[in-house]
Amino acid sequence: MKELLCPAGNFEKMKAAILYGANAVYLASDMFGMRAQADNFTLDELVEAVNYAHSYGVKLYVTVNTMPHTNEYERLKKYLVRFNEIGVDALIISDIGVFTLARELVPNMEIHISTQASVVSAAAAEAWHRMGAKRVVLARELSLCEINEIRKNTPKSLELECFIHGSMCVSYSGRCLLSNYYTGRDANRGACAQPCRWNYTNAIPINFAEEKRISDTLSLEEYKEGSFIMSSKDMCMIEHIPELMESGIDSFKIEGRMKSAYYTAICANTYRMAMDEYLRSPNEYKYNEMWLRELESVSHREYATGFYFDDPMNNPQLVTQNGYLREKAYLCVAQSEKDDDGYVTFMQKNKVIEGDDVEIITPGKCGRSFVATDLRLPNGEKIESAPHPSMLFKMKVPFDVHVGDILRSATR
């Protein structure tokens, strides 16, 4: 059974991932995770998160994938022991020192080797397995053919996990010093400022060449949209589900702990629909163009397939548009099913106005369109809009609705 593994930057995002089809979620505690700017979980919050995930039969993995310095190890020991007591399903680790400490302190804890460890060969994967790793998250710099070769040359008892959607790093699996240089924030300790995504500018076009290759001139020119010399496109593999399902990959990972709960829900829902469609009848599987439309509704950069089918070293997949392609407005979340009069109670996230073109998102379904009409307060008083964050209001919906369904704008 292939696992769909989704990001959980906070409790709201974790609930969205679980509701919309994740088999497992990954998150960080308040220390030692590679997304220091995410909300993350305190140890007390982690207890609640583990209990919530397990109540739905979903596994929960905690990232411990920074590279701690010597003076951090005493605190790290306490965290590792606590993770084990809480009942975390696995630790995601990249540093050999952290790995060794975990094996000593919590020998029964399942360990996954982070993509930060840059595993690109069967030899490296098997070495980690011999030391006690249950799973290896392969480096993103591998083609699908290389992944399949690794599968053929490693024990079946070793699980392989790969990213299939989300941001890509222009450096090699996150080994970058740009952020340190510009801001003093260490990219290898969870605090990357993403300077590769910044818009660079120059007053005069620059031509430059390596001193022994003078004839091989490179140009840095500023276009009206700006200059994008490093920012990579996002990965999106929704059009290649059969290849993924038939590969040696055990767990399909979606990147995005810093993204919104809407992003988490839509990505989980879309890949869940595609994977389930394949599992129902592999020979009759048919790609649904609506799936890509769903993924284009979230915050993202231009999409590409990363290293799976192409070599970005020879064909750089760099963005041509400035910044993110913004997601559709996340308007509100259903707090009830339809009552006898056809009304659904919603909690507002962004302003909803009478007459808006909207879409309802239900687990297992793409967006279904209708016009927002007959908005009312819980007491039945008619209103023209729901303008206040977290306010409760009622509205008629022409479809079946479940608690947790998302209402979004129908236009970007």
HEC per residue, 59-111: EEEEEECCCCCHHHHHHHHHHHHHHHHHCCCEEEECCHHHHHHHHHHCCCCCE
**So what's the pLDDT on residue 219?**
61
The answer to whether 116 and 68 are in contact (CB under 8 A) is no
**So what's the pLDDT on residue 37?**
52
**For the segment 284-341, what is each residue's pLDDT rounded down to a tens digit?**
999 999 999 999 999 888 899 988 997 655 666 766 666 667 778 899 999 999 999 9
**So what's the pLDDT on residue 121?**
97
**So what's the pLDDT on residue 289?**
96
Which helix (DSSP H) or strand (DSSP E) does residue 292 occupy?
Answer: helix 289-295
Least confident among 85-89, 190-194, 390-394: 190-194
Query: Most distant CA pair in the chain: distance in Å?
Result: 78
Phi, psi angle pair for 20, to nearest 5°: -100, 15
Q: Which amino acid type is present at position 114?
A: S
Opening angle at CA 211, ends 206 and 215, nearest 5: 70
CA distances, 239 to each of 188, 267, 270, 295, 305 (Å): 32, 13, 11, 11, 9
In the numeric block, the tokens 């009622």 are attached to: 394
Domains and CATH numbers, the chain: 3-168+232-304 (3.20.20.70), 330-409 (2.40.30.10)
- Residue 352 CA from chain centroid, whole number: 27
**So what's the pLDDT on residue 55?**
98
Q: Which of 205-214, 223-232, 303-312 has the highest mean pLDDT?
A: 303-312
**So what's the pLDDT on residue 168?**
80
Percent of the chain with pLDDT over 70: 82
pLDDT at 53 over 70: yes
- In angstroms, the first-to-last Cα distance of the chain is 36
The answer to whether 2 and 272 are in contact (CB under 8 A) is no
Q: Is 364 left (phi over 0), alpha (psi -120 to 50) or beta?
A: left
Task: Give the Cα separation of 376 and 336 in Å (integer).
Answer: 15
For the four alpha carbons of 237, 238, 243 and 249, in that order, the dihedral sign comes to positive
Q: How many CB atoms lie within 10 A of CB 368?
A: 15
CA distances, 409 to each of 72, 297, 412 (Å): 46, 10, 7
Task: Give the Cα separation of 211 and 311 in Å (integer).
Answer: 27
Provide the pLDDT confidence category of residue 278 given band limits of 50, 70 and 90. very high
Provide the pLDDT confidence category of residue 390 given band limits of 50, 70 and 90. very high
**So what's the pLDDT on residue 176?**
65
**For the segment 342-381, what is each residue's pLDDT rounded down to a tens digit?**
999 999 999 999 999 999 999 999 999 999 999 999 999 9
Task: Give the Cα separation of 70 and 61 in Å (integer).
Answer: 24
Comparing 37 with 201, which gets the higher pLDDT? Answer: 201
Task: Give the Cα separation of 334 and 223 in Å (integer).
Answer: 44
The answer to whether 182 and 195 are in contact (CB under 8 A) is yes
Task: Give the Cα separation of 251 and 159 in Å (integer).
Answer: 8
**So what's the pLDDT on residue 334?**
97
**So what's the pLDDT on residue 208?**
63
Task: Give the Cα separation of 139 and 183 in Å (integer).
Answer: 26
The answer to whether 343 and 359 are in contact (CB under 8 A) is no
3-state secondary structure at position 74: helix
Least confident among 81-85, 93-97, 242-246, 298-302: 298-302
Least confident among 20-24, 61-65, 203-207: 203-207
**So what's the pLDDT on residue 77?**
95
**So what's the pLDDT on residue 301?**
86
| Average pLDDT rounded to a whole number, residues 89-117 | 96
pLDDT at 394 over 70: yes
**So what's the pLDDT on residue 167?**
85
**For the segment 137-192, what is each residue's pLDDT rounded down to a tens digit?**
999 889 999 999 999 999 999 999 999 999 887 666 656 666 666 777 766 666 67
**So what's the pLDDT on residue 232?**
78
pLDDT at 70 over 70: yes
Task: Give the Cα separation of 52 and 8 in Å (integer).
Answer: 13
pLDDT at 35 over 60: no
Comparing 64 with 188, which gets the higher pLDDT? Answer: 64
